[in-house]
Structure 1
Amino acid sequence: MKGLPTRSLHPLLQILLLVGLAVAGLCLASLLALVLASSVFGLSVAQFGQLAAAPERVPHGWAVSMLLQGLSLAGLGLGAAVLPLVLRAANRPAERYFAPRPLGQAWWLGAAALLIIVSVPVQSALVAWNANAHFPAFLHDFEQWARSKEDQAAGLTKFLTEFTSPARLLVGLLVIAVTPAVAEELVFRGVIQRNLVRWFGSRHVGVWLAAALFSAVHMQFFGFVPRFLLGLVLGYLYEWSGNILVPMAAHFTQNAFQLILLYLAQHRHLSASFDPDANQALPWPSVLLSTVLSAALLYTLHQRMAADAPPLAVAADPAAPLR
């Protein structure tokens, strides 16, 4: 199947096609999760429907919730992965849709991961500020609704991240770190951002809009700002490198680092006063140092990626990231 040439389809249509494929992938994933939950764990359809509201009341709730979460993310990523197969032009490998440039240097992946770890104190300050933000008086009802949704999401997250054994931690790393790093980067950077860049003819507009969508889709309004900032970092890493593996490495580190800290705290390997779940900013000297180091790392990555990147694999592809 030769498919449709990428340049023949408007960027907006490519994004809409992604939405359709992602919805189809999510539906297939939910159906597969239901079949497995019934055949492996003996759950009824009614019990399966209770997972989102009260997974702790469902038999094998943790395992089935992880199964559903993992398959849903995989279905989302599959929808994005199928898109270039539909669009690919003759004699053009589909993987170039997501990586128009080969990986310039292997250390880029480590540097992207290091950037995330170094920026943790800055993130803590943003998380603390955003968690305590208040909407204007005329949005009071919306604020109450948003906080209730936030509390519900926090309860589900706390349930899923109760790692009572190393085996549970490994499952958590696979489902909460590896799978979203691949699936969400394919969707938000690999498809949405690249098409917004092409549509508006500006890498900055594309990166900022994709970051806003990335944060908004998570439906956690009191965590919008730090997730938006993360989306910006991931977006620019993709633009500068032209290779989807770079933001994937950073995204994986973001999630995996938090899970490992949680596991260490739960098993009393960290100070009793340290609570990874608390929305508290780290001391201001560490936030200031983190800001300086993060800015320096970003600048270094920008300069080195521009200098070390190989030529574009498909120079004529207008959907390739802008330099």
Structure 2
Amino acid sequence: MKGFLPRTLHPGLQILLLLGFMALALCVAYAVIFAWGMGGFGLSVGELMAALQNPAGSPAGWGVMMMVQGVTLGLVFGGGALALASALGYGWAAYFSPRRLGAGWWLLAAGALMLVLMPLMSVVIAWNAGAHFPGFLHDFEGWARASEDRAAVLTKFLTRFNSGTRFAVAVVVVALVPAVAEELVFRGVIQKNLVRWFSPHVGVWLAAAIFSAIHVQFFGFVPRFLLGLVLGYLYLWSGNILVSMAAHFTQNAFQLLLVYLTQRGQFGWGFDPDSNEALPWWLVLPSGLLTAALLYVLSQRMAAAPAPPTQMLTLSSEGVKRTV
């Protein structure tokens, strides 16, 4: 496959080019959103704008917001990452998955890891949600909390599943599309290039920090950063983007499932999936032990897989060199 960009581009330039492709894809996404809003939902421009500004006050608000999220993530993130790989002359599989999937159980184990991790993460979520900034950042803290409160209202609106159809749409838009699109960007491009630029561990940690920061949720930064680390190491160890995608999808989809079952009254003990409270220690302790065990097993088994069949060229201070 031929691209119009040299494969020896510095990793930093590849990340900058990713941002450029994402900006171009955003223009396409806007066009699709307006075309879909007027053609698919039968809304005028004014009605579409009103639905975007106040979705709860529009009969089509829920559908419009789901459409906007799906189109934006799919085209801007996913499209931007795929466009970069093509521009560099790589097939998508070769660029994002330089290693073949070692075994199907890798995907199942990655998903299981996310489920096992959840009780432990509840402690981090509770701590971060209750954190306070220094006194001189009091005004910023107030603004940040108000912003997250507004985001929480929108999230509750979008996760109001009054039918199985709404739940199915949410699984696709809120779980599947982000799992694919965000992994292509943050692990498939950003982490890959940061690893080449610096080192494997530095690349994973920097990519996780960017992944968390881009969500602009200051009182959820630490748990999302830790999630980014887990996803990053899964990709680093496996060399296959499907593994981190499977983990990411499981994380998102299981949370949606908990919300859906709670709304249908399936949990009789007053379980609240939106709560920031930590789960009991008798769930957290086994979660921590099982998470550590799974991470160790996955790191050993994935690292023992055959070496990547493809090599990529990068330009460094030492000249052109081949890297995995």
Deviation per residue, 1:155-193 (Å, 9 max, x gap): 111111111111111100000000000000000000000
Taking the aligned partners of 2:322 and 2:211, their CA distance within structure 1 comes to 18
Percent identity over paired residues: 58
What is residue 107 of structure 1 aligned with on the other side? Answer: 105
Structure 1 residue corresponding to 2:144, chosen from 143, 146, 159: 146
Shift, 1:316, TM fit: 5.3
Give the conservation status (yes or no) of the 8 Å contact 2:120–2:288.
yes
Taking the aligned partners of 1:282 and 1:234, their CA distance within structure 2 comes to 23
What is residue 308 of structure 2 aligned with on the other side? Answer: 312
Residue 263 in structure 1 maps to residue 260 in structure 2:
yes
Show structure 1 runs of 5+ residues with no match: none
Shift, 1:53, TM fit: 4.0
Residue 161 in structure 1 maps to residue 162 in structure 2:
no
What is residue 81 of structure 2 aligned with on the other side? Answer: 80
Taking the aligned partners of 1:52 and 1:127, their CA distance within structure 2 comes to 29
What is residue 62 of structure 1 aligned with on the other side? Answer: 62
What is residue 119 of structure 2 aligned with on the other side? Answer: 121
Shift, 1:116, TM fit: 0.2
Give the conservation status (yes or no) of the 8 Å contact 1:109–1:249.
yes
What is the alpha-carbon root mean square deviation over aligned residues?
1.9
| Paired residues for 1:276-291 under 5 Å | 276-291=273-288
Residue 40 in structure 1 maps to residue 19 in structure 2:
no
Cα gap change, 1:252/1:93 in structure 2, threshold over 3 Å: closer, same or farther? same
What is residue 250 of structure 1 aligned with on the other side? Answer: 247
Taking the aligned partners of 2:274 and 2:54, their CA distance within structure 1 comes to 20
Deviation per residue, 1:72-97 (Å, 9 max, x gap): 11112011111111002xxx534211
Cα gap change, 1:208/1:271 in structure 2, threshold over 3 Å: closer, same or farther? same
TM-score, length basis structure 2: 0.94
Taking the aligned partners of 2:311 and 2:10, their CA distance within structure 1 comes to 19
What is residue 214 of structure 1 aligned with on the other side? Answer: 211
Shift, 1:318, TM fit: 5.2
Taking the aligned partners of 1:136 and 1:41, their CA distance within structure 2 comes to 47
Show structure 2 runs of 5+ residues with no match: 316-320
Taking the aligned partners of 1:215 and 1:322, their CA distance within structure 2 comes to 27
What is residue 20 of structure 1 aligned with on the other side? Answer: 20
Structure 1 residue corresponding to 2:232, chosen from 197, 212, 235: 235
**1:311 alignment partner AA:** A
Aligned partner of residue 286 in structure 1, secondary structure: helix
Taking the aligned partners of 1:143 and 1:164, their CA distance within structure 2 comes to 35
Shift, 1:285, TM fit: 1.9
Shift, 1:109, TM fit: 0.3
Runs of 4+ that moved beyond 6 A: 319-323
Give the conservation status (yes or no) of the 8 Å contact 1:43–1:59.
no
What is residue 130 of structure 1 aligned with on the other side? Answer: 128
